[in-house]
A = this chain, B = another copy of it.
Amino acid sequence: VERAKNRWGEGARLREEIVAAATAMLEETGSEDAITLRGVARRAGIAAPSIYAHFPDREAIVNTLVAQAFTELDGMLAAAVEDERDPVRRLRLLCEAYLAFADVAPHRYRVAFGRHRGTGPGSMPAGTRLPQLSGGQAFGRLVEAVAATGDRPDPVLDATALWVGLHGYATLAAGVPAFPWPDREDMLTALLQHTLPRGPVST
């Protein structure tokens, strides 16, 4: 647990190290409450009070961690579809990237989407524009991808239905591995069912 002091003007570097330590602790323990200020300090190799130069309190660390998770997710979604032009395949790639993020960082995913931001103080007002919501960017990508697959009466509704399905699968599969989950591909196909262009079905 040795660590050299940062040079002059590089004090801000510790900020990143603090968030990284908090992220590592979350991903290893699986519990948001395991992110204690003292624990993060220990992990980062610094004294506990040193954190206060960078964050006003414990909560601010977690907030930063969550914001970073959303940014990372959005980046992964963007990267996943940048080389694909076919709308149907783009949509599927997007879904796969979404699930991949939840797979690689299950606890960050859960904490990011699972924190209750009810109607109390610090919560968004009811009329908040989507892009400003946490994860709003990622959802916007989903809506666009869904809309691109064909003429739909309500692409936002379809995207929402797809999103809740992806989210439910991601969280439940991580939390209840003993459940006899279908193949990921079959699951995705089933979730995308109602977003596919429908036509006559024989029977």
Contacts and interface: CB of A to CB of B under 8 A. Distances in A.
A193 B190 contact: no
Given A115-B175, A171-B171, A174-B116, A190 B126 contact: no
Interface residues of A, number: 53
Interface string A98-123: 00000000000010011111110001
Interface stretch (A37-45, A49-57, A178-186): A178-186
Contacts of A75: none
Interface in A173-203: 174-182, 186-187, 190-191, 193-194, 198-201, 203
A66 interface: no
16 contacts: A114-B171, A114-B175, A117-B176, A117-B178, A126-B177, A126-B178, A133-B179, A156-B180, A157-B187, A161-B165, A161-B187, A163-B172, A165-B168, A168-B169, A171-B171, A200-B201
Interface of A: 30, 33, 110, 113-119, 123-126, 128, 130, 133-134, 151, 156-158, 160-161, 163-169, 171-172, 174-182, 186-187, 190-191, 193-194, 198-201, 203
